[in-house]
Structures are given as C-alpha cells and as structure tokens.
Amino acid sequence: MKLTKNMRLLAQSERMTPEERVRAEDFAQWLLSVGEGSDDAVPLTQLPTGTFTVRLSTYVT
C-alpha cells in the first residue's frame, strides 16, 4: 500500500480553484523532496515560483 495524497494540503482540494490546487500540489511535492533530503543544503530558491513576498537575502516565504 502507498500513501499518495498530502491530506494536510489537499484535503480541501475539491473546493480549490485549479490554480490553488496546482500550488498546493507543487508545495506537497517540494515538501517530499525536503523529507527525502534530495540535496544536502535545501535550496529554498527551489520553492515553486511566486512564493517570495519579501526581499530574499535572509527571508523566504
């Protein structure tokens, strides 16, 4: 058996707009790669685009 859905992010996916769903799915995928340690230093710049709301030198959203 395999778990396939991030319920924290996608439990409400039926009620999301297509854009919201893509955003949540991208985030879920990125979290999985963090959990797997896909890189020794996680490049936070690899957060899906459009996530930054402030200047990035020290601060990432």
Partner 1 sequence: MPEGSKTIRDLIHEIYPELHHLPSMSEDMIRQYFSQRVILAARNIDVDAINNSILQILSGDSKIYSSADSAFDDAGAVNDAIPNEYLATIAVSGMPLHDTELKINCPIILLRNLNPYEGLCNGTRMVVTAMAERVIEARILTGTHAGKKAFIPRISLDTSMSAGLGFVLRRRQYPIRLGFGMSINKAQGQSLDRVGIYLNDPVFAHGQLYVALSRCTDRYNLKVLLPPNANRRTSNIVYREVFI
Q: Which residues bind partner 1 (CB under 8 A)?
A: 8-9, 23-24, 27, 30-31, 34-37, 39-45, 47-48, 51, 53-61
Six-digit token string for 51: 């996530």
State the minimum distance, in angstroms, from the CB of residue 23 to partner 1.
7
What is the number of other CB atoms lying within 10 angstroms of the CB of residue 41? 5
Nearer CB in complex with partner 1: 5/34: 34
Give the shortest CB-37-to-partner 1 separation in angstroms: 3
∠ Cα 12 14 16 (to 5°): 75
Nearest CA-CA partner of 10 in 30, 26, 27, 24: 24
Q: Which is nearer to partner 1, 4 or 53 (CB)?
A: 53
